[in-house]
Amino acid sequence: MTQELPARRRAKRPQPGFDQRLLALALLSGLPGSAVSLVLLAAGGYAPKVFWTLAVLIVAMWLGFAFAVRRRAVIPLQTLSNLLAALRESDFSIRGRGAHRDDSLGEVTREVNELAETLREQRWGALEATALLERIMEEIDVALFAFDHNGALRLLNRAGEQLLALPAERLIGRSAGELGLDRCLDQDTPRILEAAFPGGAGRWEVRRGEFRQGGLPMRLLVLTDMSRALRQEEAHAWQRLIRVLGHEMNNSLAPIHSIAGSLEALVARRPLPEDWDEDLRRGLAVISGRAASLSRFLEAYARLSQLPPPRRQPLDLGALVRRVAGLEPRLTVGVDPGPESMVDADGDQIEQLLINLVHNAADAALETGGGVTIGWSRGEGVVEVAVRDEGPGLSNTSNLFVPFFTTKPGGSGIGLVLSRQIAEAHGGSLTVANRAAGRGCEATLRLPAGP
């Protein structure tokens, strides 16, 4: 048979507190001296009245000093406890008194006061930062959503409420699937998504991130309406196009209309002037010339809007630059050789781009009798081709890449625009600016470097 365990256990005595232990130690420290004093007092043969008076005085002083020691130690500790409790409750306005540098407890009190001041400043900074963040979240027109680790919505801004067409109190706590945002959270980002929400439909840029709040992981979802920005850019593009088309067509149609009216009046005259046939031929020649100019303009527009995608293949950039430099018939183009560089590009398109740049540089250089140089260099993952001229430079760079804008007589205004389209189609860029050292300007083509 197994022996049964005792049903009762001995109750654990409560341990005395710090103030009781301190009082006991103070009493024990004064007990030997008080006891010796009482023994000597009893052996001294004093009268009973004197004996009891002195005995009561000794015992009273012993107990008084013991309780004074307890009070001097416990009360500062209680004050520190209250200060720490106030800090725990986020009340940073209470300060301890008697914080002296030459006192141990005073040093502790002073440190607690400085901690309270530091925490107060940090709290105000956190409150101001939080208020600024909330203000920014409310003012931006980007929809923000924060989901917890269970997929429940915990935070959103005003744009998010407008997108889902519901107030925040009716959205908080609902899952991403219930809100129709599950596919935005599950797929890779950033990306463009065609989607319809209760508050709007269109193209949205989806971005996702992670952060922690209260020690728990949170997922942040950002939805940016791209349709509005695209519509605005489309409207600006149409306005620029209509302005350019209207300007060019008016330049051609106005003289055609004027000369046609003059010829109509000439033919209606009776009798006809002796040189009427010469005036007629001259007027028809002007009309033909303006019509041909308008036709060339429309052909240039068609060529600008129908740029084919590049057919990439390994291309020796140095050989291409040397070949382009030899195609300019009006002057000798200097070549600044660089390191051997290969690019993955469409050779025909890059050659046309460089021909446009060299042709423009030669036009500028011929105005002042300067020269043109072309060179290339290789950087970290990029190859640069620079075309420099010693012309008069650029007086205004804001309209360089505006379609059909030109300052050259007979120019089409599409050379630089077409060149930049070719560069960007290859993942590169094209910039034109005045040279920092010397006169003239510099056109820089940047392309991703090949192996």
What secondary structure does DSSP assign to 132-186, as a single string?
A: HHHHHHHHSSSEEEEE-TTSBEEEE-HHHHHHHTS-GGGTTT-BHHHHT-HHHHH
Q: Provide mean pLDDT across the span 174-202.
A: 81
Provide the b/e sequence for 267-288 (b: ≥16 CB within 10 Å): eeeeeeeeeeeebeeebeebbe
- What pLDDT does residue 53 have? 87
Q: Provide mean pLDDT across the span 424-432.
A: 88
Domain ranges of the chain: 18-88, 135-229, 231-305, 313-448
* Amino acid making up residue 387: V
Given a cut of 90, is residue 373 above it in pLDDT? yes
Of the listed ranges 117-126, 183-192, 439-448, the least confidently predicted one is: 183-192
Element (H, E) at 387: strand 382-389
- What pLDDT does residue 237 have? 65
- What pLDDT does residue 101 have? 67
Contacting residues for 98 by C-beta, under 8 A, at least 6 apart: 76, 105, 106, 109
φ, ψ (nearest 5 deg) of residue 181: -110, 10
CA 160/CA 142 separation, integer angstroms:
8
Q: What tokens does 4 get?
A: 């049964």
Question: Over 307-375, what HEC string results?
Answer: CCCCCCEEEEHHHHHHHHHCCCCCCCEEEECCCCCEEEECHHHHHHHHHHHHHHHHHHHHHHCCCEEEE
- What pLDDT does residue 311 have? 86
The 10s digit of each residue's pLDDT in 135-153 is 877 778 888 888 988 888 9
Given a cut of 90, is residue 374 above it in pLDDT? yes
Preceding amide of 190 cis, omega within 30: yes
Q: Provide mean pLDDT across the span 352-377.
A: 89
Given a cut of 60, is residue 412 above it in pLDDT? no
Q: Provide mean pLDDT across the span 212-239.
A: 77
Q: What tokens does 330 get?
A: 């009006």
Q: Which of 344, 339, 343 is nearest to 378 (CA)?
A: 339
Q: List C-alpha distances in Å: 113 to 78, 79, 92.
A: 15, 12, 9
Give the number of residues written for the chain.
451
- What pLDDT does residue 405 have? 52
Bigger pLDDT: 137 vs 251: 137
Architecture, CATH, for domain 313-448: 2-Layer Sandwich (3.30)
Q: Provide mean pLDDT across the span 297-308.
A: 65
- What pLDDT does residue 8 have? 44
Given a cut of 80, is residue 279 above it in pLDDT? no
The 10s digit of each residue's pLDDT in 15-25 is 667 777 877 88
pTM recorded for the entire structure = 0.43
Report the mean per-residue pLDDT for the chain.
Answer: 79
pLDDT band at 9 (very low <50, low <70, confident <90, very high): very low
The superfamily (CATH) of domain 135-229 is PAS domain (3.30.450.20)
Of 3-17, 197-211, 357-371, highest mean pLDDT: 357-371
- What pLDDT does residue 389 have? 92
Given a cut of 60, is residue 304 above it in pLDDT? no
Bigger pLDDT: 234 vs 360: 360
CB 82 within 8 A of CB 74: no
CA 260/CA 55 separation, integer angstroms:
140
CA 273/CA 46 separation, integer angstroms:
165
